[in-house]
């Protein structure tokens, strides 16, 4: 399922990642979704801090490694999400983790 990359309520606009693991890797066919409580309209996407494109659709499949953020009208900018092209990665679930939680990590290559 989809998992937010920031705690609920911490940010009005959230960047959701599928599959729900982080760090995200390009070879996983990562889909990002911009979700916010503001008015509907074009979502502005940023890649590596540069305005990248505007789209009515709020989600897309990543084809390039980089750091992505999104901006929704009326709800602001999301926290950044990095998608890497690493060949070996240690991943954790993309959810809020608290001290004492049991976490399943996975090493992938």
Nearest to 83 by CA among 1, 26, 3: 26
How far apart, in whole angstroms, are the C-alpha atoms of residue 43 and residue 54?
6
Nearest to 59 by CA among 72, 76, 73, 77: 72
Q: CATH number for 14-96+103-107: choose from 3.30.460.80, 3.40.1160.10, 3.40.50.1100, 2.60.40.10.
A: 2.60.40.10
pLDDT of residue 8: 47
pLDDT string in tens for the chain (109-residue length)? 555 554 444 458 899 999 999 999 999 999 999 988 766 667 889 999 888 776 667 888 999 999 999 988 888 899 999 999 999 999 999 888 889 999 999 999 8
> Is the CB of residue 18 less than 8 Å from the CB of residue 93?
no
pLDDT of residue 23: 93
pLDDT of residue 53: 73
pLDDT of residue 4: 53
């Amino acid at each position: 399922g989809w998992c937010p990359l920031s705690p609920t309520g911490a940010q009005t606009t959230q960047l959701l990642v599928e599959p729900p693991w982080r760090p995200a890797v390009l070879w996983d066919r990562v889909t990002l979704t911009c979700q916010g409580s503001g008015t509907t309209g074009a979502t502005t996407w940023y890649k590596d801090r540069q305005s990248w494109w505007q789209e009515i659709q709020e989600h897309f499949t990543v084809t390039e490694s980089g750091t992505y953020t999104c901006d929704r009208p009326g709800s602001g900018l999301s926290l950044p999400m990095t998608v890497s092209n690493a060949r070996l990665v240690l991943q954790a679930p993309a959810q809020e983790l608290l001290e004492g939680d049991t976490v399943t990590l996975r090493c992938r290559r």
